[in-house]
Structure 1
């Protein structure tokens, strides 16, 4: 792997990490957009019994090649960097410029769904039904009310396993799943406080969840490709309900810093937003950023096709 690809993969990992800490945005969507989704799944899936045997025998070079170690290290390093540093920028933007950032995400996800639709080889009633199921599930998740849950080790581990499964699904936010499970603030505070025991238990759950679930998803993409891609596209479309820029706060909660934060929100029209909150809806800026998000994805896709065609010519 040359240095430029290593850096590019780390940047894609950063984008995934930034998305994963935002309730409502999926790191899996970013992986899908950036063209590393299936390689990521296959690399995670390669952490299997064979890899464990190689590791126990001390054949570290063979183990590293078997799990596509350079690829995984690049992406995971980027994710870690984002979670511990760049996530602060995302938090600032969501707090101070929510309409702008959600509008950008809205356009980004629309373009992503359109591009994913092209990967379905044949649309029929089965793929349409799969798409509808995915959209319905994602939409239901976005309107579900978070629950009060225990802080026991087993539930923290279970939360990690469930959340990571969601994180690698385009359109379903692992952070939002943690919010629904009542563990988002608890885990984020553990990261801020460097609470090693809680983080370690959570990471064990993440490892169990991602290794087991990636096998299933990888198998589905290989053997039921069109149905699986249609389902993933449905997840992305259903998640648009969460990233709509103008919202009315229905319920709130008090975070660990004593600040009141929105817990349950409902979508409203820009005009209703202006009337309700006596603030400008910033409709023009929202439309522009939505278009920018849409064109960004098409720009990435066009660039990827151009690079691929040049490689074929050479």
Structure 2
């Protein structure tokens, strides 16, 4: 690959990382609409016993080719850059510009779901049912209440394994799964403080989880492509419940800094939001940012098509 191709892959990884630190938005969604999803799953799946054998016999060049190392390295670099540089920024935006940021993500997800629908070869009863199952599962996840969980090493390990599987599923947010497990604030704090023992434990769980889960996902995409894609589309549509900008807080909790944070919320209309909070619903700004998010996805998709056409001509 040429330098500009590496750069584009790294930027796509940055977009995935940016999504992954936000509860309710999936890095898998970004991978899907940017055209790298199946290659990412296949590359992760290739980290198997054969790869380990090549590594431990020091056949490093063969190992690198076997795992599609250049592709993985570029994408993972982008994800890491975003997670470590944007964790605090996203926390700030979600705290101080809540309506604006959720409106932007709402537009992103709607456009993403429409693009995913175009990848379905033929719509039939099976595919519609698969999509509805995805909607129901994702909707239920978004209304489930977060729980109090231990900060022990084994639970951090387990949290990493579960969250990373969600992160590569379009529509199911790994960050939100962490929130449900009661570990979002804990992990974000560890990232901000560079708490190496916690981050390493979480990373080990994540690596184990993603390698095992990628085999199942790759098999489903190869043998049941349309049903799998419609299920993923359903996940994305169901997740819209989480990113609706106007909410009423029904339960609060005290975070690690002793500050009150929303625990359970329900969606309300802008007028109801203003009546409850005495705050401006910022409807105009929300609509504009929703449209910007929507158009951004189509701009990324169009750019991807142009790049693929150019690559085809060069080959």
The bucket for the TM-score relative to the shorter chain is over 0.9
Alignment match, 1:272 = 272
- Taking the aligned partners of 2:180 and 2:312, their CA distance within structure 1 comes to 46
Alignment match, 2:101 = 101
Task: Spell out, residue by residue over 1:285-306, the C-alpha distance to the aligned partner (whole angstroms, 9 max, x if none).
Answer: 1111111111111122222223
Q: CA deviation at 1:226?
A: 0.3
SS across alignment from 1:206: helix
8 Å CA contact retained: 2:87, 2:191:
no
8 Å CA contact retained: 2:190, 2:198:
yes
Query: 1:182/1:303 Cα in 2 relative to 1: closer, same or farther (>3 Å)?
Result: same
Alignment match, 1:209 = 209
Count of residues paired in the alignment: 314
- Counterpart mapping for 1:117-136 below 5 A: 117-136=117-136
Alignment match, 1:88 = 88
Q: CA deviation at 1:276?
A: 0.9
Q: Tell me the TM-score normalized by structure 1.
A: 0.97
Alignment match, 1:155 = 155
Q: CA deviation at 1:282?
A: 1.0
- Taking the aligned partners of 1:54 and 1:91, their CA distance within structure 2 comes to 41
Tell me whether 1:116 sits opposite 2:112 in the alignment: no
Query: 1:306/1:10 Cα in 2 relative to 1: closer, same or farther (>3 Å)?
Result: closer
Alignment match, 1:67 = 67
Alignment match, 2:167 = 167
**Higher mean displacement: 1-10 or 221-230:** 1-10
Task: Spell out, residue by residue over 1:12-68, the C-alpha distance to the aligned partner (whole angstroms, 9 max, x if none).
Answer: 111111111111111111111211111111110110111001001101111011111
Tell me whether 1:290 sits opposite 2:290 in the alignment: yes
SS across alignment from 2:23: coil
Q: Tell me the TM-score normalized by structure 2.
A: 0.96
SS across alignment from 1:162: helix
8 Å CA contact retained: 2:147, 2:182:
yes
Tell me whether 1:225 sits opposite 2:225 in the alignment: yes
Show structure 1 runs of 5+ residues with no match: none
Root mean square deviation of aligned Cα: 1.3
Show structure 2 runs of 5+ residues with no match: none
8 Å CA contact retained: 2:116, 2:229:
yes
SS across alignment from 2:281: coil
SS across alignment from 2:266: strand
Q: CA deviation at 1:313?
A: 4.5
- Taking the aligned partners of 1:88 and 1:194, their CA distance within structure 2 comes to 12
8 Å CA contact retained: 2:24, 2:239:
yes
SS across alignment from 1:265: strand
Q: CA deviation at 1:103?
A: 0.8
Q: CA deviation at 1:198?
A: 1.9
